[in-house]
Amino acid sequence: MRNQQKKRVHHQQVVCQAQNGIASCLQIVVNNSAAR
């Protein structure tokens, strides 16, 4: 379970890093985590 979640987060980071760069990516990941 935890490993699957880690893969999903890593995929999010790769996609948003490609689009926006690391700073925006971290903000997106935090927002997604807070939304759960």
Return the pLDDT at 34.
83
Output the pLDDT for position 1: 56
Euclidean distance between CA atoms 35 and 2, whole angstroms: 18
- Beta carbons within 10 angstroms of residue 4's beta carbon: 8
Quickly state the pLDDT bin for 35 (edges 50, 70, 90).
confident
Mean pLDDT for 19-31 is 73
Scanning the structure block, which residue is given the tokens 């760069």? 21
Report helix, strand or coil for 21: coil
1-16 confidence digits (pLDDT tens):
577 767 776 666 666 5
Distance CA 15, CA 25 (A): 8
What pTM was estimated for this model as a whole? 0.31
For the chain, what are the domain ranges?
2-27
